[in-house]
Amino acid sequence: MDVWQSNRITTAVEALRRPLKLHFIPFLAAGHMTPLCEMARSFAAYGHHVTIITTALNAISLENDVHLDIAAGHCINIHTLQFPSEEVGLPDGVENLTAVTDNDSLLKVCRAATSLLQKSFEDFVLQNPPDCLVADFMYPWAHDLAARLGIPRLVFNSFCVFSVCVMESIKKNPITGQDPHAFTIPDLPLPITMNIRPPIPFLKAIDKPLELEAKSYGLLVNNFVELDGVFVEHYNKITGHKVWHIGPTALIHRTEEETAKGTHKNEPCMSWLESRKPDSVIYICFGSSGTLPDNQLYEIACAMESCGHSFIWVVPGKDEAEKEEEKERWLPKGFEERMMKEEKGLILRGWAPQVKILGHAAVGGFMTHCGWNSVVESVGAGVPMVTWPLHSDQFYNEKLVTQVQGVGVEVGVEEWGVWVLDERKKTVKRDRIEKAVRRLMDEGEEGEEMRRRARELGEKAREAVKEGGSSHENLKTLIRELQETRDSKLVNAT
Q: What is the pLDDT of residues 32-55, one digit of tens each?
A: 999 999 999 999 999 999 999 999
Model confidence over 369-379: pLDDT tens digits? Answer: 999 999 999 99
**Omega of the bond leading into 248 within 30 degrees of 0 (cis):** yes
- Backbone phi, psi, residue 313, to 5°: -125, 120
pLDDT at 432 over 60: yes
Which of 97-111, 204-218, 234-248, 407-421 shows the highest mean pLDDT? 234-248
**8 A C-beta contact, residue 303 and residue 282:** no
CATH superfamily membership of 15-247+465-493: Glycogen Phosphorylase B; (3.40.50.2000)
**8 A C-beta contact, residue 142 and residue 134:** no
- State residue 180's pLDDT score: 57
- State residue 177's pLDDT score: 54
Going by C-alpha positions, the residue among 36, 11, 8 that lies closest to residue 22 is 36
What are the E-state strand segments in 228-372?
A: 243-245, 281-285, 310-315, 345-349, 363-368
Indicate the pLDDT class of residue 157, thresholds 50, 70 and 90.
Answer: confident
Q: Which residues contact 263 (CB under 8 A, 6 or more apart)?
A: 257
User: Rounded to an integer, what is the distance from CA 424 to the centroid of its chain?
Assistant: 23
The strand order across the sheet containing 21-25 reads: 76-81, 49-55, 21-25, 132-136, 153-157, 218-221, 243-245
In the annotation, is 187 catalytic?
A: no
The mean per-residue pLDDT over the stretch 373-394 comes to 96
Q: Which residues contact 157 (CB under 8 A, 6 or more apart)?
A: 137, 164, 213, 219, 220, 221
CATH 3.40.50.2000 segments of the chain: 15-247+465-493, 257-462
The mean per-residue pLDDT over the stretch 268-275 comes to 91
Model confidence over 433-487: pLDDT tens digits? Answer: 999 999 999 988 999 999 999 999 999 999 999 999 999 999 999 999 999 999 9
pLDDT at 421 over 80: no
Catalytic residue, chosen from 48, 69, 74, 136, is 136
Q: Assign 65 to helix, strand or coil.
A: helix
In the annotation, is 136 catalytic?
A: yes
pLDDT at 116 over 90: yes
Q: How many degrees, rounded to 5, is the angle at CA 35 between CA 155 and CA 124?
A: 55
Cα–Cα distance, 32 to 158 (Å, whole number): 6
Which of 280-294, 317-331, 400-414 shows the highest mean pLDDT? 400-414
pLDDT at 14 over 90: no
- State residue 13's pLDDT score: 45
Does domain 257-462 sit in CATH 3.40.50.10490?
no
What are the CB-based long-range contacts (under 8 Å, 24+) for 340-343? Answer: 343/275, 343/310
Alpha-helix residue ranges (DSSP H) falling in 342-371: 354-358
Catalytic residue, chosen from 32, 143, 264, 391, is 32
More confident residue, 289 or 188: 188
Mean pLDDT for all residues in the chain = 90
Model confidence over 56-112: pLDDT tens digits? Answer: 999 999 988 888 888 888 999 999 999 999 999 999 999 999 888 888 998 999 999
pLDDT at 1 over 70: no
**8 A C-beta contact, residue 388 and residue 427:** no
Which of 210-214, 257-261, 263-267, 353-357 shows the highest mean pLDDT? 353-357
Question: Which of 253-257, 345-349, 452-456 is least confident?
Answer: 253-257
Alpha-helix residue ranges (DSSP H) falling in 342-419: 354-358, 372-380, 394-399
- State residue 10's pLDDT score: 41
- State residue 494's pLDDT score: 60
Question: Which of 6-10, 108-112, 161-165, 239-243 is least confident?
Answer: 6-10
More confident residue, 424 or 80: 80
The mean per-residue pLDDT over the stretch 225-253 comes to 94
Question: Which of 131-135, 203-207, 226-230, 403-407 is least confident?
Answer: 203-207
More confident residue, 348 or 258: 348
User: Rounded to an integer, what is the distance from CA 340 to the centroid of its chain?
Assistant: 32
Cα–Cα distance, 214 to 145 (Å, whole number): 16
- State residue 405's pLDDT score: 98
Alpha-helix residue ranges (DSSP H) falling in 308-418: 324-327, 335-341, 354-358, 372-380, 394-399
- State residue 176's pLDDT score: 63
Which of 164-178, 265-279, 400-414 shows the highest mean pLDDT? 400-414
Cα–Cα distance, 267 to 254 (Å, whole number): 18
The mean per-residue pLDDT over the stretch 299-307 comes to 97
* pTM, full prediction: 0.91
Neighbouring CB atoms inside 10 A of 423's CB total: 9
Cα–Cα distance, 339 to 310 (Å, whole number): 9
What are the E-state strand segments in 48-150?
A: 49-55, 76-81, 132-136
**8 A C-beta contact, residue 176 and residue 156:** no
Q: What percent of the chain has pLDDT over 90?
A: 71
In sequence order, what are the beta bridge partners of 24?
52, 134
